[in-house]
Chains A and B, each alone.
Chain A
Amino acid sequence: DAKTTQPTSMDCAEGRAANLPCNHSTISGNEYVYWYRQIHSQGPQYIIHGLKNNETNEMASLIITEDRKSSTLILPHATLRDTAVYYCIVRVGNNAGNMLTFGGGTRLMVKP
């Protein structure tokens, strides 16, 4: 699976959009971008995933650049409950399994 690079930490004001970047310059054509988050010591939570088109769901939007070498997760109106570590994961399933490889992630602090 391709390696990802994320900032270690970010701050965001409550009510503002949180834009979390992820670089994955070695991504292959069949690899998807997944985002998960982990609120302190809870189980990681699936947020969204995409291949090349931008995606939106009730939690967030995912913007993937045309060359697919980077992406941005957007939380449109961050709340204090969005304070968490956000993981960007690039992966493709194969016969060896679909495990997730977690890096260090970005620690997002939403401030009042």
Chain B
Amino acid sequence: DSGVTQTPKHLITATGQRVTLRCSPRSGDLSVYWYQQSLDQGLQFLIHYYNGEERAKGNILERFSAQQFPDLHSELNLSSLELGDSALYFCASSPSFSPSGGAGNEQFFGPGTRLTVL
């Protein structure tokens, strides 16, 4: 158990709908990252928040947005869903955000949310 929780575990919805995925980081971790894992794309970084501020964006679609709240939990909002958005969505947290890339930058992943768009 990494200490990172994600809800819901599974989500089945229809095209065109909007969903919200929730992530609670490990206690004390200020950084939250979101990743998408689909069968054909592998694990892809979406977005990074540090202490409530957006720090980096990856290949995140404009239909997707995220935020990190004052209590440090984060939500990933996916709208106008398409069949291709079906994937596993992982959230990860890390203790700090250091340019050195060393200690404190290791990321701890949650169990993921499996999204199925029908």
Q: Interface code B86-109, partner A: CB below 8 Å = 1, 0 otherwise?
A: 001010101001111110011111
The 8 Å CB contact of B31, one of A31, A45, A98, is: A98
Q: Which of B13-21, B41-49, B77-85 contacts A (4 or more CB under 8 A)?
A: B41-49
Using CB atoms, name the residue of chain B closest to A91. Answer: B101
Docked CA distance A82–B25 (Å): 25
User: Interface size of B by Cβ–Cβ distance < 8 Å?
Assistant: 32
Bitwise, A44-66 to B at CB < 8 A (1) or not (0) is 11100101000000000000000
CA distance A38 to B2 in the complex (A): 13
Q: What residues of chain B lie closer than 8 Å to A49, measured between beta carbons?
A: 102, 106
Contact check, B2 vs A45: say whether CB atoms are below 8 A apart. yes
Cβ contact within 8 Å between B33 and A93? no
The answer to whether B112 and A43 have CB atoms under 8 Å apart is yes
In the docked arrangement, what's the CA distance between A41 and B71, Å?
28
> How many positions in chain A have a CB within 8 Å of any CB in the partner chain?
27
- B4 and A43: CB pair below 8 A? yes
Inter-chain CA distance A98–B45, complex, in Å, is: 10
- Chain B residues with a Cβ under 8 A of chain A: 2, 4, 31, 33, 35, 42-45, 48, 55-56, 58, 88, 90, 92, 94, 97-102, 105-112, 114
Known: A44-B109, A98-B105. 12 other contacts (CB 8 A): A41-B88, A41-B112, A43-B109, A51-B102, A93-B100, A93-B105, A94-B99, A95-B55, A98-B56, A100-B33, A100-B45, A101-B45
